[in-house]
């Protein structure tokens, strides 16, 4: 693997998640974009050739024909191509309810210290603030997959003490057994949060913990982009930047239109270190 | 032909209103109104919407405006200026925005909807729009319960969220295990609109590819309008009964609608129109949905005129040609 | 229609039920045999060309290829031939649960004055008596179809005051609302009982009532074959014997192997009246 | 490969024992034991039954010995003299009799079983057989609940019957309507055996024609053995994903078993053997099931030897030729 010298921070985020993909495991990916690309990248580069994914519309272990038209990451012939089964949303959720889905991968708006996820409302529900689209499939994924990987941005307004509205469950109030008491399946919950800048896991007592940062940033810079102060691991690792191999597959086979890098800032190697460019530069 | 589907609602102890899940009321309705005979239900989109969508109905569409959804029927609802619809807003990017902009929808049970632009906050502020909170799969579970003649169904999700607090769900003690468990109220929509790839004139329909909850939706809804890409002979249905997704028993109207899912895709038939997709998203963002509706809905008489005047044969042919995958779809 | 001069009493029973079949209605037929043949006869002779039936295994409105091999009245290609849909047992029961099935037609072992059906146990459950196979699909049919037609034999041990075991619900204890209180759908219940010798309906207060007898028998003879005394209608009609037209279709298109007439007695016209021969003669 | 599926039971206030419907226990089992990888599960009937059917298991077979059922697997269970099985005895004419005669089954949740002959009363009298009462569709609903990861499911039937009193069902107040409603405990069988027309080596399987509850059974059961008329390439599965009835995720073993449903029929492949049907019914009636089992099970090594020695090529060809209907079945 050769470290790449120019890449978008969102490309890096997908690569980080791809490296988390465990071979021979099942994934429920929310929507298209990052979550789906992360699994496809892991399959194609060989990190996890036998990982399988399902989508909300019941594409079971597809081998999609890329690229997709805008929005057409579900209920389309290319997205469901060469699946082992075509189901529906209820079929997908049944498989998760039965404990057959190891991991869920989500994108979201806002996450809190207990891993609760907000995709419904910023501000005071229902009247004072901004309305968003709701949980979609994320509530089911976060409730029923054994482990949840969350992809989001490293921004103060996104890393908060308590989300304004719990759309999809993390550890709820963080007390032991809170999920089970609410009727959610035992033994499930948030597992990792990945941003372009950092990676988090959860402590034994179900609190968000910073465990790694990107090579072009620092723990302090990351903490500036958290409204609350997460637990910090004894050893905070540095995340390897994307490799040329990863980016080649990603750019030529997966996101060939560069939609991922439409937003987010670019990172370059200046000969001495990685530097982050202005957003959208 | 018009039928008072009689939307009845309940309010729970958290003050949340939800459609009353009453299986016996559905049964009584079905006994009276669901046609057992094999008689043709073929009609125009105008007649179908006029006959079966009433102001105040609870409306569910399967899939959405951009993905094998009943886009032409959604436009016809808007064209006929239906009012006060309560929308099952799951898995949807732009349809709810169109219905709210047009003044058709006043309530929404949310799974997910595309929330760009000012249309929603404006309508909410003006008291024209009320949200209730579920999830995509929570909504399809509610429809599953309806399709099974039940009044409730367990859900291993939703518990502990703020969505739960603003939903019709409740927590009960599992009668067998004693553990707390979330149950959702079954959903029996007044009317469902569903786009399928093939149907006969009686409403025996086939859906190919992945989907959301077409069969459940058709069975759970009091009134069901299908639009279909293609009519097939009943002989063909009988020659392969394993392909039937929806039985005639559930269906009230069949509308022949080639490109009925436009601007969305329809697996095995055509790709989506990416330009149009961009146009409608931009209209949401820029608060230009009024102009969008004028151009694509109000200024044309029906779907076929829209396709002819606003899309054109060249584009339609291109969309057909862009659907290159044949495996698993009708030949 | 020409009255037939020789026929089996069980053939007559099927004809009686065929004449009850309402055009444009849906039927859930239990098993194969009488219930299914009654609907097919009504379709083919033109009493109810647009009646449709479903079976327990989810054959929805089939046009079966006859005859069937023994037992192969469900889950077989001939039984499911030219259906409008192939479902499963849960699909069949969903349609009934939704109120889409107008009538159920059942065969059974024992029926009581409130239309309750026993197909589980004769004697004192569970130890003292004879074990039978259980309700099969009859419980679901009797609970969820709007109206139930029961086919059975006119024998004392089959027409009892209270069945030994309620396998499938009639009006339960006969009180108003008993079915609803037990969780069964409102407005459903027993509608007719048909035997080779007689036909019954139910009174307003949900008691079995004799409304017609076969032409070769009398009310008194029928009552001898009831353990309890059913209500007797003010006017007890006489059931027309099978017609040649009915029997021709029945014998040449439906039960071509004569399985129906394997058991039961034969009836013949002796020039003056119909006479019942010895059983199995 | 063997796994303790740990049959756990509950006893209700009427003293009726039933399999505890514990979704979280199923989930924990599935997490550990259900194979997510695409690895071949092809094995002999002997190995499959030896590995996955344990004494004391709750066994469900889909369909039955005479109708597209796993007849060869039922015979292998008998051949291996499994003990103390609790059988989901729905929609079945002779299989329960065979299992009881052979000393394999000690309990049965009844939907319907063929009850001719003395085998059942003898076993019951000797305390070797206990019945619990449900119905055919009650049993498939229990499996549906299991397949959905639920612990209970509403049933608009069973209420008010004596079957109800001897079942694990209970009546609760509907949390939404307040009306009394019957709920059944979900069924998570320890092991399921299912005969399908086509499967790949991973267990992606296709069922054609009507059926009982193959998909629900496969999903709800902890251990799943499929027998299949024909192996198909996974490429073929991927070429038409709409035909997949059962996903590999649910399946533990795939047994290639041409004529695996013999003496029953298998839609699209062969008719039933009417002579054999008569023989086995006569054996029930005349208390000659011991002889039947000796001839058809114990005296042969496996299904293929049985077909060769006891049925013969001429008969098999005749049964294939008698299946004249091709429409809707694999070509």
Interface of C with B in 71-90 (CB under 8 A): 80, 82-86
Spans of chain A below 50 pLDDT: 280-281
Which chain D residue is nearest to residue A147, measuring alpha carbons?
A: D31
Q: How confident is the model at residue B3 (pLDDT cuts 50, 70, 90)?
A: very low
A22 assigned to some structural domain: yes
Transcribe B38-99 into DSSP letters. ----B--HHHHHHHH--TT-EEEESSBTTBB--HHHHHHHHHTT--SEEEEE-SBSSHHHHH
Cα atoms in the Cβ-side hemisphere of radius 13 Å centred on D297? 24
For an interface test with D, the pick among C32, C73, C88, C186 (most D C-beta atoms closer than 10 Å) comes out as C88
Specify the number of domains making up chain A. 1
Residues of A in contact with B328 (CB under 8 A): 86
Q: How confident is the model at residue D6 (pLDDT cuts 50, 70, 90)?
A: low
C235 assigned to some structural domain: no
Average confidence score pLDDT of chain D: 97
pLDDT at D268: 98
What tens digit of pLDDT does each residue of C16-49 get? 999 999 999 999 999 889 999 999 999 999 999 9
Convert D258-326 into a string of H (helix), E (strand) and C (coil).
CCCCCCCEECCCECCCHHHHHHHHHHHHCCCHHHHHHHHHHCCCCHHHHHHHHHCHHHHHHHHHHCCCC
* Residues A72/A79, Cβ–Cβ less than 8 Å: yes
Phi then psi for residue A127, to 5 deg, are -105, -25
**Domains in chain D, please, with CATH?**
9-322 (3.40.1080.10)
CATH code, domain with C254: 3.40.1080.10
pLDDT at B6: 56
pLDDT at D123: 96
What tens digit of pLDDT does each residue of D187-206 get? 999 999 999 999 999 999 99
Tell whether B231 lies on the interface with C, counting CB pairs under 8 A: no
Which chain C residue is nearest to residue D164, measuring alpha carbons?
A: C167
State mean pLDDT over C219-236: 96
Kindly state the percentage of chain C with pLDDT values over 90. Answer: 93
Beta bridge partners of B152: B185
DSSP state of D186: P
pLDDT at B1: 37
User: Which secondary structure element, helix H or strand E, spans residue D109, and what is its range?
Assistant: strand D105-110
For chain D, the residue count is 331
Residue among D203, D249, D244, D200 at smallest CA distance from D222: D249
Determine the Cα–Cα distance for residues C224 and B21; give it in Å rounded to an integer.
49
Determine the Cα–Cα distance for residues A130 and A122; give it in Å rounded to an integer.
5
A185 assigned to some structural domain: yes
C269 assigned to some structural domain: no
- Write the CA distances from A210 to A181, A193, A222, D148, integer angstroms: 27, 9, 9, 36
Determine the Cα–Cα distance for residues B38 and B18; give it in Å rounded to an integer.
35
pLDDT at C279: 61
Asked if ipTM goes beyond 0.95, one says yes
CB contact under 8 A, D156 and B23: yes
Find how far residue C97's CA is from the centre of its chain. Answer: 20
State mean pLDDT over D271-285: 98
CB contact under 8 A, A83 and B171: no
Residues of B in contact with C187 (CB under 8 A): 24, 27-28, 31
Q: How confident is the model at residue B8 (pLDDT cuts 50, 70, 90)?
A: very high
pLDDT at D249: 98
Which chain B residue is nearest to residue C53, measuring alpha carbons?
A: B36
pTM beyond 0.90: yes
State mean pLDDT over D223-239: 98
Sheet holding A159-160, edge to edge: A117-118, A110-112, A159-160
C65 assigned to some structural domain: yes
DSSP state of A71: T
3+ Cβ–Cβ pairs closer than 8 Å linking A and C? no
Kindly state the percentage of chain D with pLDDT values over 90. Answer: 98
Please give the residue range of the domain that contains residue A77.
6-196+244-263
State mean pLDDT over B163-180: 96
Residues of C in contact with B219 (CB under 8 A): 94-95, 98
C273 assigned to some structural domain: no
Tell whether B72 lies on the interface with A, counting CB pairs under 8 A: no
C275 assigned to some structural domain: no
C277 assigned to some structural domain: no
* Residues B111/B134, Cβ–Cβ less than 8 Å: yes
Distance from CA of D1 to the nearest CA of C (A): 32
Determine the Cα–Cα distance for residues D225 and D218; give it in Å rounded to an integer.
9
Determine the Cα–Cα distance for residues B308 and B299; give it in Å rounded to an integer.
13
């Amino acid at each position: 693997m050769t470290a790449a010298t120019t890449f978008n921070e969102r490309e890096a985020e997908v690569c980080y998640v791809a490296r988390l993909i465990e071979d021979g495991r099942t994934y429920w990916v929310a929507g298209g974009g990052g979550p789906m690309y992360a699994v496809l990248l892991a399959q194609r580069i060989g990190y996890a050739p036998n990982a399988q994914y399902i989508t909300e519309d019941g594409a079971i272990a597809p081998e999609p024909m890329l690229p997709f038209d805008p929005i057409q990451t579900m209920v389309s012939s290319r997205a469901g191509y060469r699946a082992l089964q075509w189901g529906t949303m209820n079929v997908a959720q049944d498989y998760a309810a039965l404990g057959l889905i190891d991991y869920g991968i989500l994108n979201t708006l806002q996450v809190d210290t207990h891993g609760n996820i907000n995709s419904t409302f910023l501000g005071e529900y229902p009247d004072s603030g901004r309305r968003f689209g709701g949980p979609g499939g994320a509530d089911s994924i976060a409730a029923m997959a054994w482990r949840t990987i969350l992809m989001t941005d490293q921004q103060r307004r996104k890393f908060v003490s308590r989300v304004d509205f719990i759309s999809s469950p993390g550890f709820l109030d963080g007390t032991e057994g809170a999920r089970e008491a609410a009727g959610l399946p035992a033994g499930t919950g948030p597992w990792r949060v990945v941003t372009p800048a950092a990676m988090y896991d959860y402590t034994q007592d179900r609190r968000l913990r910073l465990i790694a940062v990107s090579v072009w940033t620092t723990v302090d810079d990351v903490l500036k982009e958290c409204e609350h102060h997460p637990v910090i691991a004894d050893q905070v690792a540095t995340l390897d930047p994307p490799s040329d191999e990863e980016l080649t597959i990603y750019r030529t086979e997966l996101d060939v239109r560069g939609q991922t890098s439409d937003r987010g800032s670019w990172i370059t190697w200046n000969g001495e270190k990685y530097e982050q460019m202005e957003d959208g530069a | 032909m018009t039928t008072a589907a009689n939307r009845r609602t309940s309010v729970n102890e958290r003050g949340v209103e939800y459609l009353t899940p009453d299986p016996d009321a559905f049964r009584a309705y079905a006994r009276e109104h669901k046609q057992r005979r094999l008689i043709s239900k073929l009609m125009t989109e105008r007649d179908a919407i006029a006959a079966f969508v009433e102001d105040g109905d609870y409306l569910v569409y399967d899939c959405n405006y951009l993905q094998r959804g009943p886009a032409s029927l959604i436009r016809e609802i808007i064209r006929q200026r239906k009012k006060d619809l309560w929308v099952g807003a799951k898995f949807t990017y732009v349809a709810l925005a169109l219905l709210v902009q047009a003044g058709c929808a006043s309530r929404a049970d949310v799974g997910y909807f595309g929330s760009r632009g000012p249309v929603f906050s404006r309508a909410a502020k003006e008291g024209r729009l009320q949200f209730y909170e579920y999830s995509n799969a929570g909504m399809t579970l509610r429809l599953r319960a309806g399709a099974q003649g039940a009044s409730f169904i367990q859900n291993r999700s939703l518990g502990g969220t703020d969505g739960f607090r603003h939903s019709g769900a409740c927590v009960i003690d599992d009668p067998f295990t004693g553990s707390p468990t979330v149950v959702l109220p079954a959903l029996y929509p007044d009317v469902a609109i569903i786009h399928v790839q093939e149907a006969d004139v009686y409403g025996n329909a086939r859906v190919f590819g992945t989907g959301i909850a077409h069969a459940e939706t058709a069975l759970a809804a009091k009134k069901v309008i299908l639009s279909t890409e293609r009519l097939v002979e009943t002989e063909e249905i009988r020659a392969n009964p394993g392909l039937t997704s929806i039985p005639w028993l559930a269906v009230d109207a069949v509308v022949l609608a080639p490109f009925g899912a436009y601007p969305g895709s329809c697996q095995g038939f055509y790709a989506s129109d990416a330009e149009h997709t961009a146009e409608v998203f931009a209209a949401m963002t820029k608060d230009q949905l009024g102009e969008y509706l004028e151009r694509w809905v109000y200024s044309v008489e029906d779907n076929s005129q829209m396709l002819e005047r606003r899309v054109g044969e060249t584009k339609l042919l291109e969309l057909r040609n862009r659907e290159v995958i044949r495996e698993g779809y009708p030949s």
